[in-house]
Structure 1
């Protein structure tokens, strides 16, 4: 008999390394053990798309910086073959990409990381010009502009209140003077021009509303005015004054968000995701690209990070299956089919998922029962079952849509191949063991999938699995230990009940 020392050494090594990696991430990077314990960090990614004309390309994008409520703790830019530079100009920070020759569709990425920090260390930069630039309007627009300013002066006491009154006039759909200016100008540009005409330093800035998991978002134009010693932000759509907590100013250059030379059809969209870390550790994070953070899931694009949030939960489902089968003795149809069904439940919600699973498997068994009478070969029979399952899902989805059950549309998230094999296995089991064994294994699979769903949707489990990859090694060690168990299962102990009664 071979020695078990190497096996126990492997188990111990996995546990120690997993715990060490998790503790390192908590201690060095300040990621909390429980969600919502400390501060938030926002990963905001800009995706730039354009079509290169075949010549040299130079692209300049307004880059964000530390501001009220947010501290910039990291930034990276990536695009194969391009030179990248971070510049400080008279109009603020900018990121530049350049290449000697490029042709066809191009995609560039810029990723920044902001710590939610009420005590962010920043200073408002005063306007460079001593006086505002002279602004004039043409013809009737000049009279409309003067009328708007006269009305705003009557109801204001300083620059801040005058700006607020101007925005009120532009939000009034019946104001003819404002409507006249909006024929040729966007609302924020019209307000900015009026403020300049009044001699008030101002600029148009681009802002982002921070929402966890948000993708393909565009910047929203807002107005900032210089009031004695600070910039005051206004929302030109609502007139709201001040900077909300979930608003990030991305472009404060008052020049342009994106300039492309050597390309056309440019577009910039933003994705964002939030994670929890310790504020005290976040301010000390390295900003160079060879930081350990760049080798973690958080270095991936935002869309891929969202995908990994689900993938990292699968080992937890596997652990539950191993425990229920080896220790409890619960019978399931297939080894890890319940895990995949539980993943589908996460997408469809629990009740909808259970109903859909029962309908698909039940109908599939009826069709499979007919196929068994045709004495088909295994490959042909399985292929026929797969096609039948696809048709069942399609029919149920269309029927659900027609009768107004929008929840039924999510039934397409079920893994079709796994369901087909489940129908095949249960059909064979019915023929060999009877309907009771089918009910036992089918019920066990469904119960296991529900338990896995409960674990996967737990906020603490989601937080730990996504933020502490080292815990996956601990889960692996526990699974290996359970796989070494050769004793009685709990469901088998009922055989000894007569002895206990005696």
Structure 2
């Protein structure tokens, strides 16, 4: 394979890998490609009210477990004067409050913030009931058990699998004009509708579990948990609302309690109840990516720059901009033909401009280099060795920068104090190169290369300071593979530069 096709193959491979990884992050993980994208965050407050009787009180509230398509990003409890712990029990996590002596009306709060995330394949252990079929009908009066069995037999004929059976059963029990058998069952049976449907499904040997949760919407106050049933057909779980039937996959529903455990247990008090309030707000997605809970719960994000400490993240935010600066340098030198003093010195100057602002940085750079050239011309008369001469120039540059910082501070010019962000060694080497160039080629070449360096630095600064580029380089460092591919292709170009076309324009006439 020739070098031409080898370069093309490598470039296309790198670009394909980079684009695929970006597509995966955006489409599967849900990372924002644009910096101004927002995501809804739901704040859910659980309010517990009860009346103390002058006795020790222990309050236990069931907490939501890890859910397939919802993620809890923060938790908080308000319990002035109460001891508070989160306990891991056999039935799941529970928030527990305790106080030695409580009298009168009391209110406790527990709040969480949740976001909707991309669904993953749900893997849940199935705990089948050990009750016999006849035991499941004990809550139904004996006189109604025969009618109940006939009802189930009829539904069995109208269904094909566990999901369709559950849908038909719930439809019959939620119909505005139910059958006589359903009317009698609802009127005579003393257990809740959720428990009744659960036992009827278990009687048919269908894997099912009881669920209580919340429909997440814009604004709701003083609501209770909605009872649901979740049915398993051997492959997937499907939730069913006891009134609406099947719940679609894209419905924003938070499962607060799964199984038959109690939602709220209160000892030492009376008239206890728990109600919920929901508020919704839009939060920039880039802020959510800074949340450590979100990062830890995603394998991809946990092995990314977001897992690093904040100080290291900030360092990489600047470092990852350098390849785009290099892309600008390669384009302007290879295709435009601009000459610079040093190949990648403009990138370092552009990084300094990002800290000093463009206009202030340009002025300071020109002043330092101009003063440095004057002093360098004096040092050349001393016939110093190269190393000693450059070292002397470095010291002079530091002295100039120090003087400018002090002078600007006294005048109240805070912008000039950012001069310390300029790379001192690069400035000293630039002064040395320009001084030698002045002696060998004359002032015209110094102006051409110095002006070219500043012009390239300005274009690199404009690219590197772009908010969109800053966002995608940090959130999608895989795009650097695409940048690398483009640079490799640009490096294969050996035709005329734009400046050469202008220079030899007269030959075309």
Give the TM-score range, shorter chain: 0.5 to 0.7
The match for 1:429 is 437
CA drift at 1:7: 2.2
TM-score by length of 1: 0.55
Match of 2:449 among 421, 441, 450: 441
Alpha-carbon distance in structure 1 between the residues aligned to 2:74 and 2:108: 29
* Residue 41 of structure 2 corresponds to residue 33 of structure 1: no
Deviations 1:26-68 (A, max 9, x none): 1221112211123289xxxxxxxxxxxxxxxxxxxxxx999xx
Q: Any stretches of 5+ residues in structure 1 without a counterpart?
A: 42-63, 76-88, 96-122, 134-197, 208-226, 233-241, 248-272
Shift of 1:351: 1.4
Q: What is the CA RMSD across the aligned residues, in angstroms?
A: 4.1
Out of 84, 90, 99, the position equivalent to 1:91 is 84
Q: How does 1:52-71 map to 2 (within 5 A)?
A: 71=71
With over 3 angstroms needed to count, the CA separation of the structure-2 counterparts of 1:92 and 1:127, relative to structure 1, is closer
Cα distance in 2 for residues equivalent to 1:389 and 1:26: 47
Per-residue deviation, residues 294-346 of structure 1 (Å, max 9, x unmatched): 22111111221122111111100000000000100011111111101111111
Contact 1:344/1:353 (8 A) holds in 2 = yes
Following superposition, the deviation at residue 470 of structure 1 comes to 1.2
- Distance in 2 between residues matched to 1:65 and 1:306, nearest whole Å: 35
Measured after TM superposition, the shift of residue 442 of structure 1 is 0.8
Determine if contact 2:288/2:294 at 8 Å carries over to the other structure. Answer: no
Paired with 2:351 and 2:429, the residues of 1 have a C-alpha distance of 17
Distance in 2, matches of 1:489 and 1:65, equals 64
- Compared with structure 1, are the counterparts of its residues 74 and 475 closer, same or farther at alpha carbon in structure 2 (3 Å cutoff)? farther
Match of 1:472 in 2: 480
Query: Against the structure 1 CA distance between its residues 285 and 305, is the aligned structure 2 distance closer, same or farther, given a 3 Å change threshold?
Result: closer
Q: Which protein has the larger Cα radius of gyration, Structure 1 or Structure 2?
A: 2
Instruction: Quote the Cα distance in structure 2 between the aligned partners of 1:3 and 1:124.
Output: 65
TM-score by length of 2: 0.54
Residue 102 (structure 2) aligned to one of 132, 142, 147: 132
**Distance in 2, Cα, partners of 1:401 & 1:94:** 57
Specify which of 275, 278, 291 is matched with residue 286 of structure 2: 275
The verdict on how the C-alpha distance between 1:391 and 1:15 changes in structure 2, with shifts beyond 3 A counting, is same
| Residues 243 and 359 of structure 1: CA distance in aligned 2, closer, same or farther (over 3 Å) | farther
Cα 1:231–1:383 change in 2 (3 A) is farther
Structure 2: unaligned runs, 5 residues or longer: 42-62, 76-81, 114-271
Give 1:490's match in structure 2, choosing from 478, 491, 498: 498
Asked if residue 418 in structure 1 is aligned to residue 426 in structure 2, the reply is yes
Aligned residues: 314
Instruction: Report matched runs for 1:451-470 at 5 Å.
Output: 451-470=459-478
The aligned counterpart of 2:8 is: 8
Deviation (angstroms), 1:199: 5.7
Return the alpha-carbon distance in structure 2 between the equivalents of residues 330 and 496 of structure 1.
16
Equivalent residues in 2 for 1:385-400, closer than 5 Å: 385-400=393-408
Instruction: Specify whether residues 297 and 358 from structure 1 end up closer, same or farther in structure 2 by C-alpha distance, changes over 3 A only.
Output: same
